[in-house]
Structure 1
């Protein structure tokens, strides 16, 4: 088997962080209650920290969804901004193909799914989604990521949607505190 005989999907996860003072400054200067990552950039406020984590595991349900979309099997929801959310949690259980949810315990003090903004960006063999977690969203230790696909219009919440597409555990991103704004971007690359 050669490298051209294999197919893989991986995700580059990026987290940008703005502290409470930066968030309050952007709120005052823009009049926005919950500024998004683009609002910080437009105001010239750079994140105090940015980190990147490479890797993920596409779940069995995720691969099935991709194959169904490729072969027009039924009418499953596409991976688009209307139906995709980025989920974060404080669970530490290693990822497995059979994962149907994040490992974090139930409740918004342990897990949060945030709808992605915009249409997602599509490039050659890549698909990127970004979500901004506002001052009261996802305030716990970030130990895992995942993308879920909802059956209806995506809304913020603490339960997984129709399927968990992928998951990455052991990310150790620190603890997001109330008043802070963090933005997560998932860039999927297929090769």
Structure 2
């Protein structure tokens, strides 16, 4: 039998949660209205809870974007000013390769795409890491799905998907973020 080479793309999601009291303390100490996960770390504030989610599905649009970039056929790369992490409250079945958006209903009460923290994305051999901090007013609903989208620079945080939904993960059941809390989502995408 001939040898077969397989390619894989998987994402490891990490969610750090900071409660309202921690957030208010960091806001006072840093004099920042919307501190990022890096500000919590700099001040020695550990999350009250951290959870992990494994796996994802790279969408057709995501695969098309990857191959276009590999063959110099054009398209926007994943950069700090073009990529966002999205969360939604939909409890729909599994993600599908043809997904072009999160499953959650439209509107900021159901979905939110947050821009990257300052030093993200980060890359190393076969690994892409993205991180976004959802502030006190962002993503306040049950987190049941994730996605990464890619738009044209410069993207802003909003409830609407950009041009390309790169990947999608459903049925994550991460609990409900409420006003006053700060949650940080890290997506480490490994290609092998």
TM range (shorter): over 0.9
1:82-117, CA deviations, whole angstroms, 9 ceiling, x for partnerless residues?
100000000122200000000000000000000112
Partner residue in 1 for 2:33: 33
| Aligned position for 1:84 | 83
SS in 1 for 2:40: helix
Structure 1 residue matching 2:112: 3-state secondary structure: strand
* Distance in 2 separating the partners of 1:153 and 1:115: 10
CA deviations over 1:122-160 (Å, ceiling 9, x no partner): 112100000000000000000000000012311000000
Aligned length: 190
Q: Any runs of at least 4 consecutive aligned residues in structure 1 with deviations exceeding 2 A, and if so which?
A: 1-4
Taking the TM superposition and a 5 Å limit, the aligned residue runs for 1:41-52 are: 41-52=41-52
Q: Which moved more, 1:47-56 or 1:117-126?
A: 117-126
TM-score, normalised by the number of residues in structure 1: 0.96
* 1:130 paired residue number: 131
Query: Would you say the 8 A contact 2:120–2:129 is kept in 1?
Result: no
CA distance in 2, matches of 1:126, 1:3: 25
Match in the other structure for 2:166: 165
User: Which deviates more from structure 2 when the two are superposed, residues 156-165 or residues 118-127?
Assistant: 118-127
Q: How do 1:101-116 and structure 2 match up within 5 A?
A: 101-116=101-116
State the distance in 1 between where 2:121 and 2:45 align: 23
Distance 1:26 1:173 in 2: 23
Q: Which runs of 5+ in 2 are unaligned?
A: none
Runs of 5+ consecutive residues of structure 1 not aligned to the other structure: none
Q: CA RMSD in A?
A: 1.3
